[in-house]
Structure 1
Amino acid sequence: MRFRHAPGIRADHPTLAAGVIAVDGIDDGANVDDAVAAHVARATSMLATTAISELPQIQAWRRTFAAMGLKPTQYRCAAESLLRRLAKVGTLPRIHPLVDLCNAVSVAAAIPVAVLDRDRIKGDLEVRRAHGDETYATFAGDVEHPVPGEVIFADEAGQAHARRWTYKQSSTSTVRPETRDVLIVSEALHPGAAADVEALLTTLGTEIARAWPRPTPTPTLLTAERPETRV
């Protein structure tokens, strides 16, 4: 499969930097407690000196959400939602070792990270504007249709794997205990985003290789010059 951003998305958001990592053969038995704790500690230290609203990574997403007609205080990018939870309760939810690791790295970098089960994606996956006939499966078991023009992660079968860009992933491709092959996607829009996303990819690749010795993470940085990759 290929992962890419539609030309219109790139044109509208010239500072966009994205990174992907394809990992095969994961399981839910890995121990990532120490790694999660270390990255959460970095995020906690950052929040002790800087308000979430002052982080340039979050500010860039708030501006983007506002430009899309979404209230930034109602719809928050995934990284901001996790940071707000961490600031409020001091911990992150524990879901699956890989998801937990990605969430911890996400809050430490203040950059959204999505983890998708590749076997549940039909064909290529593209970040594009919705036509309005795509289907999005909620965690409550309902099926929604994105608003035309909304930025979504869409596969060739018309499934929306994320709505409102980095706001919320669908239940279709969430990582489960039986998940083996995944696609990790990280995106940022702030000044210096490319270097920060590349650093995030390097960190995740190292942590994944340590926790799952058999898979070989394959990180790829996507830019305007290289807007897509095969995974």
Structure 2
Amino acid sequence: MFVSFELPARDLITHEITIKRSRFITWITRAESEEEARAVIAEAKATYPDARHHCSAFILSGQNPIERSSDDGEPSGTAGKPMLDVLRGSGMQDIVAVVIRYFGGIKLGAGGLVHAYSGAVSETLEQVTRVEKRLRQLAEVDFPHAEAGRIEADLRTNGIDVVDVHYGAAATYTLGIEPGGLEALNELLAALTQGEAEASEAGEMWVER
């Protein structure tokens, strides 16, 4: 399982190329489950119902990573697999690509199709904003209200993620740190608070930045 990985921002990125009068319209966006990926593919089919092909590929992270691709009527191995290969090469997870083809009347041949579908995805990927997702151990710690702002700024400077803040009798911070980093965090807190603050474990979560 990944401790950190890149994935696309939630925007839907679209791009179109024309090769020998065939139009190739590419959609790339985030999908964090197979249901989400298939919903994107279904939406592409609904948006372009008269297109000849709606080829697709997606890569999903998780304990059981999933990779799927579909040629959607193109000769076997000429569309979905090349698209999947390009997605793999990007290093991103939780990503889905759909290439909608309007046939222009000129056959491209197997090699031409591979080039067209892989090129369509490659060009679209250049426009995708990448986001890093990291598994963070959570820690909770209380600070006096008067000191919280200064300590928070110092924590952020040291690469600590501030996940949540609750204001009660004290300012209770939930912090995101590298897995196994609680001892190092407490050493930092001791230095920042003259030994007044100590954090305790509070689970884990995925954090984007």
TM-score, normalisation: structure 1:
0.25
Q: Which has the larger radius of gyration?
A: 2
TM-score, normalisation: structure 2:
0.27
Work out which structure has the larger RCO, using CA pairs closer than 8 Å and 6 or more positions apart in sequence. Answer: 1
Determine which structure has the larger helix proportion and give its number: 1
Determine which structure has the larger strand proportion and give its number: 2
